[in-house]
Amino acid sequence: MQKPKGTYDIYGNKAEQMLYFRKLAETLMNMYNAKYFETPIFESSELFHRGVGETTDIVSKETYDFKDRGDRNLTLRPEGTAGIVRCFIENKLYAENLPLKAWYYGPMFRYERPQAGRHREFYQFGLEAFGTYDPIMDAEVISILVNLFKLLGLKGIKVNINTLGDKESRENYREALISYFKPYINDLCDDCQNRFEKNPLRILDCKVDGEKDIMKCAPKITDYLNDESKKHFDKVKEYLDAMDINYVVNPNIVRGLDYYTHTVFEVEADIEGFGSQNVLGAGGRYNNLVENIGGPSIPGVGFAIGVERLLLALEMEGIDIRESSTPEIYVIPMGDECKSKSMNLVNTLRLNGFRVEMDYNNRNLKSNFKNADKLNVKYIIIVGEDEINTKILTIKDNYSKEEYKVNVYELIDFLDEKLGDNDEN
């Protein structure tokens, strides 16, 4: 049996990195007063049609849709925003103190052609902030991404920002795009010909036609913004400047999801050889999404990071974020009759926060020492009849090979001192 195409198993180093990153995300989110949310991995298909948009590649080509045994149309979530918005509305969280910042972390599913940094099941860490129209929240959301990359020591990143303006600006822009593309309609791919009427903005995001000259010369949204939209974008830039965040205004960023208004952004890995799937995280403002999904008129802005891509970027910059999970102490019971006392000792040590492994298999001393080396433990404790009778344990430092005699009642203090006060445990 093999795993399905586009999926992968998480174990070993990768598992340790993922765990570490998950913890870091939690610590970071606490700094911003964001609250953790978990929503279902599958939702009604309609949620994504209405939320992400019928004409997007994600909904039209990439979702995993299925019917359950009750004949319901369901979809494995291709992204996190729509589910969080549904949860925000269904639980009437808009009636609580706003703004509300909701963060999430979990697997998403898209039927895409797998390649480095692109999977069919992948992890996103994301945040959605509801309840303010103020551009200061757009800037804060972008700053979270940038700060996270800074905290991780990642240097090769590039922040691209753009604005799609409000409804009126978008409408003007749409008209301009239709007039512009009309003479070239037959030069466009089949998908773009469909998009022409329904959603001409999507044409700019086309993976087939993207490099053609007609795309490069297409009208830019920045020329169709009304005053309100311009002001919003200027303020976002002002707040980013105030936080010393470097960015590039890139009018080609239109995003592959339909819900955006005003600010959109993508953070790229600017690392040589990274490959084409180089957007580590992205997001933007969506002032109409809550209403479109059936809630009150409440604005939102958020981001999502592709965890695998971020880990790949870290690897390419030689940054190892694993936290040590190797055991610190290895306990060797000298035969079956010493196992109960050893178990008692191991249990006590673990309850005191130490990472402990023991010999379960009655190995001889030589192969136990070998095993302790393999595990790279710092201390070895042998529990034999003598030790049980005298209550004096021999602790062997497996690195320096020094030996210590320690009374069993003083063991925790001794280890605390030697291994540091294990706050993190």
CB of 286 to ligand HAM, least distance (A): 6
# residues contacting ligand HAM (CB under 6 A) = 26
- Nearer to ligand HAM among residue 284 and residue 384 (C-beta): 284
Distance CA 12, CA 31 (A): 29
CB of 336 to ligand HAM, least distance (A): 50
Residue 299, helix vs strand vs coil: coil
Residue 274, helix vs strand vs coil: coil
Q: Looking at 10-18, 65-73, 280-288, 358-366, which segment touches ligand HAM (CB under 6 A)?
A: 280-288
Are 105 and 125 spatial neighbours (Cβ–Cβ below 8 Å)? yes
Interface residue with ligand HAM among 122, 233, 265, 330 (CB under 6 A) is: 122
Q: Looking at 161-169, 178-186, 300-308, 382-390, which segment touches ligand HAM (CB under 6 A)?
A: 300-308
Q: Determine, following the binding rule CB under 6 A, whether residue 57 of this chain makes contact with ligand HAM.
A: no
Interface residue with ligand HAM among 37, 274, 303, 354 (CB under 6 A) is: 303
Q: In sequence order, what are the beta bridge partners of 269?
A: 157
- Nearer to ligand HAM among residue 80 and residue 131 (C-beta): 80
Distance CA 77, CA 80 (A): 7
Interface residue with ligand HAM among 77, 101, 110, 202 (CB under 6 A) is: 110
Lay out the site mask for ligand HAM across 309-348 (x = CB under 6 A, - = otherwise). Answer: x---------------------------------------
Q: Determine, following the binding rule CB under 6 A, whether residue 304 of this chain makes contact with ligand HAM.
A: yes
Q: Determine, following the binding rule CB under 6 A, whether residue 258 of this chain makes contact with ligand HAM.
A: no
Tally Cβ neighbours within 10 Å of residue 407: 12
- For the record, the structure tokens of 68 come out as 């359950």
Question: Considering only residues 140-199, where is the footprint of ligand HAM by CB under 6 A?
Answer: none
CB of 294 to ligand HAM, least distance (A): 18
Distance CA 156, CA 405 (A): 51
Q: Looking at 18-26, 304-312, 321-329, 340-348, which segment touches ligand HAM (CB under 6 A)?
A: 304-312
- Nearer to ligand HAM among residue 75 and residue 124 (C-beta): 124
Distance set, CA 367 to CA 264, 360, 363, 370, 373 (Å): 59, 12, 6, 5, 10
Backbone angles phi and psi of 192, in degrees to 5: -70, -35
Q: Determine, following the binding rule CB under 6 A, whether residue 279 of this chain makes contact with ligand HAM.
A: yes
Distance set, CA 191 to CA 14, 48, 77, 112, 187 (Å): 38, 20, 23, 16, 12
Number of H-type helices and E-type strands within the chain? 15, 16
- Nearer to ligand HAM among residue 251 and residue 256 (C-beta): 256
CB of 341 to ligand HAM, least distance (A): 50
98 burial type by CB count under 10 A (0-12 exposed, 13-18 middle, 19+ buried): middle
Q: Determine, following the binding rule CB under 6 A, whether residue 284 of this chain makes contact with ligand HAM.
A: yes
Backbone angles phi and psi of 278, in degrees to 5: -105, 5
- For the record, the structure tokens of 368 come out as 């136990």
CB of 120 to ligand HAM, least distance (A): 7
DSSP string across 182-222: GGGGGGS-HHHHHHHHH-GGGGGG-TTTTTSHHHHTS--GG
CB of 43 to ligand HAM, least distance (A): 13
- For the record, the structure tokens of 272 come out as 């040589």
Interface residue with ligand HAM among 128, 138, 209, 387 (CB under 6 A) is: 128
Q: Looking at 173-181, 268-276, 277-285, 325-333, which segment touches ligand HAM (CB under 6 A)?
A: 277-285
DSSP string across 284-297: EEESSHHHHTTS-S
Q: Are strands 403-407 and 379-383 parallel, antiparallel or unpaired?
A: unpaired
Measured at CB, which residue is nearest to ligand HAM?
Answer: 306
Are 76 and 109 spatial neighbours (Cβ–Cβ below 8 Å)? yes
Distance set, CA 95 to CA 83, 89, 92, 98 (Å): 18, 9, 6, 8
- Nearer to ligand HAM among residue 282 and residue 372 (C-beta): 282
For binding to ligand HAM (CB under 6 A), which residues are involved? 79-81, 110, 112, 117-119, 122, 124, 126, 128, 256-257, 279-284, 302-304, 306, 308-309
